[in-house]
Amino acid sequence: MPELYKNYIGGKWVEGRSGKTFENRSPANYHDLIGIFPASGSEDVDCAVSAAREAFLRWRLVPAPKRGEILFRAGEFLRRRKEEIARAMTREMGKILKETRGDVQEGIDTAFYTGGEGRRLFGETTPSELPDKFAMSVRAPIGVCGLITPWNFPMAIPTWKLFPALLCGNTVVLKPASDTPHTAVKLFEILEEAGLPPGVANLVHGTGRETGNALVRHRDARLISFTGSTEVGREIAATCGQGLKRVSLEMGGKNGQIVLADADLNLALEGALWGAFGTTGQRCTATSRLLLHRDIKKEFTEMLIERAEKLKIGDGQNPGVEMGPLINEAARRKVERYVGVAKEEGARLLTGGENYAEKKSADGWFYRPTIFDQVTPNMRIAQEEIFGPVLVILEIGSFEEAIEILNGTPYGLSSSIYTQDVTCAFRAMRDIEAGITYINGPTIGAEVHLPFGGVKESGNGHREAGTTVYDIFSEWKAVFVDYSGKLQKAQIDIE
């Protein structure tokens, strides 16, 4: 019998109100049933938000350093269970063990980094323009935060949102992706073990259409933090705008890696392979466009094809596997559609372009690393996010042309340039329209103490991670203390 999992509301594991459920299966073997989870509805969301609202009255009064200590403990428990969680995560969402270990490590790093900020949740003091008057600004919690997270980083991204939200004194309701509910259960087991009070963090499983919508629309959820597609992000922004609630959006990307003629080609090759085919291309920061200078294009393309065709595909739990499956059948069909579009547009298929179905992987959603050449900047495959192991090559003749093409999409999340020319490197830092720029590194590989997010259709201006995340999860309050013993009127009593 498969294991039956529950929601976590008010400090208790509880069944869904509707009685409806959904299956969680491994993308590497769809016969592998991980468990049955509640398909929660608006009643479950209402219970979770109510529990969070009640807990907020107490949690906001807990000193920030004490809140940080709980996060430190959570980090320690994550570290102790790192291998167990990584293996469960690989089974659940498919990426190889090396990557899921890194995913858990991001959660550990975030716990320790955020815990330390409990003693650094700084405001500002500033001179008043009037005598005998003190002025300062402090951070205040917002209330109940609704967190909606994706499946591709099922530990890292929830902790990026949840830990800073809790440190600021908020309470939360997490709606994880329906493809990765088991990892969220592991996280909440750790929060419970770390001593987080009941109701401070609540977990509600279900679909985005029903559970996620109910959370976004709930009038007592005062903030929504979402990571996912740009299309869904637009809908969430519109709904939150109607309710005048704060919303933070981290969305799609069409990230480009530039390789100039003077680049270290071996280094650039490693970056392109990792950026394009790490996590099977299922990252918002994945390298989906490769901008090659015409002087090195032929040589580099030959190197790229040779290496891509040697990548070992299979179940990420097995030693030596370098690329796992796509997350589900719908994701593979989407990749198949875009491969068809590329051929119709006149792009030349260099390798891949088909399902991978050797005997050991016949029951999973595998697809070969795919590379297209003769791609022009306005083709759909050079403009639209595919979210799979598909890399397109665009030829460039100069640094200026590379920047123009790289910036020429609706997105602006991550970017990369390989060059030995320090002038080009610094001009790229200045001129590329993206929230993240790597010099001689791939487009993937965020660090938790730096801001993460994008411009244009990749985000709405907020940044997760680093210190900037606290501007999402806290309100600024200006405080004035007048000890003059008389009425002083700002701007009026100044002579």
- Spatial contact of 372 and 392, defined as CB atoms under 8 Å apart: yes
9 sits in which H/E element: strand 7-9
Token pair for 192: 């419970």
Q: Can you tell me the distance from the alpha carbon of 108 to that of 102, in angstroms, rounded to the nearest whole number?
A: 10
Q: Can you tell me the distance from the alpha carbon of 70 to that of 80, in angstroms, rounded to the nearest whole number?
A: 16
What is the widest separation between alpha-carbon atoms in the chain? Answer: 86
Residue 177: predicted pLDDT: 98
Q: Can you tell me the distance from the alpha carbon of 185 to that of 339, in angstroms, rounded to the nearest whole number?
A: 36
pTM given for the model: 0.96
In this structure, the number of other CB atoms found within 10 A of the CB of residue 127 comes to 8
Q: Can you tell me the distance from the alpha carbon of 253 to that of 413, in angstroms, rounded to the nearest whole number?
A: 5
Residue 360: predicted pLDDT: 65
The CA–CA distances, whole Å, from 108 to 6, 146, 225, 258, 309 equal 25, 22, 20, 32, 34
- Spatial contact of 351 and 340, defined as CB atoms under 8 Å apart: no
Q: Can you tell me the distance from the alpha carbon of 132 to that of 488, in angstroms, rounded to the nearest whole number?
A: 10
Token pair for 13: 């594991």
* DSSP state letter for 131: T
Token pair for 464: 């997760």
Q: Can you tell me the distance from the alpha carbon of 69 to that of 118, in angstroms, rounded to the nearest whole number?
A: 8
> Which residue shows structure tokens 């770390």?
194
> Which residue shows structure tokens 């088909």?
354
State residue 259 phi and psi, 5-degree precision.
Answer: -125, 110
The full DSSP string for 165-234 is HHHTT-EEEEE--TT-HHHHHHHHHHHHHTTPPTTSEEE----IIIIIHHHHH-TTEEEEEEES-HHHHH
- Spatial contact of 357 and 325, defined as CB atoms under 8 Å apart: no
**Three-state DSSP class for residue 147:** strand
What's the pLDDT tens digit per position in 124-148? 999 999 999 999 999 999 999 999 9
> Which residue shows structure tokens 């001689």?
440
Residue 1: predicted pLDDT: 77
- Spatial contact of 464 and 453, defined as CB atoms under 8 Å apart: yes
Catalytic residue set: 250, 284
Q: Can you tell me the distance from the alpha carbon of 44 to that of 14, in angstroms, rounded to the nearest whole number?
A: 10
Tell me the residue type at 214. Answer: A
Token pair for 394: 């665009």
* DSSP state letter for 470: G
Q: Can you tell me the distance from the alpha carbon of 270 to that of 440, in angstroms, rounded to the nearest whole number?
A: 10
Q: Which residues, at least 6 apart from 44, have a Cβ–Cβ distance to it below 8 Å?
A: 7, 9, 16, 17, 18, 38, 204, 206, 211
* DSSP state letter for 355: B
Q: Which residues, at least 6 apart from 184, have a Cβ–Cβ distance to it below 8 Å?
A: 149, 154, 158, 174, 176, 203, 205
CA angle, 423 then 414 then 112, to 5°:
110
Which residues share a beta bridge with 459? 250
State residue 486 phi and psi, 5-degree precision.
Answer: -145, 165
Ranges in the chain, pLDDT < 50: none
Residue 495: predicted pLDDT: 64
Q: Can you tell me the distance from the alpha carbon of 406 to that of 409, in angstroms, rounded to the nearest whole number?
A: 7
- Spatial contact of 203 and 185, defined as CB atoms under 8 Å apart: yes
Residue 358: predicted pLDDT: 72
**Three-state DSSP class for residue 484:** coil
**Residue (of 90, 250, 251, 230) closest to 155 by Cα position:** 90
The CA–CA distances, whole Å, from 80 to 91, 119, 316, 474 equal 19, 25, 22, 31
Q: Can you tell me the distance from the alpha carbon of 281 to that of 106, in angstroms, rounded to the nearest whole number?
A: 19
What's the pLDDT tens digit per position in 450-488? 999 999 999 999 999 999 999 999 999 999 999 999 999
Token pair for 462: 């907020």
The full DSSP string for 29-76 is EEEEEEEEEE---HHHHHHHHHHHHHHHHHHTTS-HHHHHHHHHHHHH
Token pair for 46: 């209402």
CA angle, 187 then 159 then 3, to 5°:
25
